[in-house]
Amino acid sequence: MRIKLKNLSKTFSDERKILDNINFDEEIKSLAIIGPSGGGKSTLLKIIAGLLSPTSGSVEVDGTLINFDENELVKYRKSIGFIFQHDGLFKHMTVLENIVNPLVQVHGYKLSEAKEAALSYLKRFGLEKEINKFPYELSGGQKQRVSIARAISFKPRFLLFDEPTSALDPEYTVEVLDIINELKEDGVNFIIVTHEMGFARYACEKICFLYGGKILEYGESSKVFTNPSSMELKRFLSKLLEWEKV
CATH second-level architecture of 1-79+164-170+189-245? 3-Layer(aba) Sandwich (3.40)
pLDDT above 70 as % of the chain: 98
pLDDT of residue 243: 53
Q: Classify each residue of 164-185 as buried b or exposed e, where b means 16 or more C-beta atoms within 10 Å of its C-beta.
A: bbeebeeebbebbbebbeebbe
pLDDT band at 57 (very low <50, low <70, confident <90, very high): very high
163 in Cβ contact with 193 (< 8 Å): yes
**245 has a pLDDT exceeding 60:** no
Distance between CA atoms of residues 199 and 174, nearest Å: 9
**Each residue of 103-143: pLDDT tens digit?**
999 999 999 999 999 999 999 999 999 999 999 999 999 99
Tell me the average pLDDT across 7-36.
Answer: 94
**241 has a pLDDT exceeding 80:** no
pLDDT of residue 21: 96
**Each residue of 71-84: pLDDT tens digit?**
889 889 999 999 99
Greater confidence, 242 or 47? 47
**40 has a pLDDT exceeding 60:** yes
Residue 230: C-alpha distances to residues 4, 225, 227, 235 (Å):
23, 11, 9, 9
When the pLDDT of each residue in the chain is averaged and rounded to a whole number, the result is: 93
**Each residue of 185-223: pLDDT tens digit?**
999 999 999 999 999 999 999 999 999 999 999 999 999
pLDDT band at 242 (very low <50, low <70, confident <90, very high): low
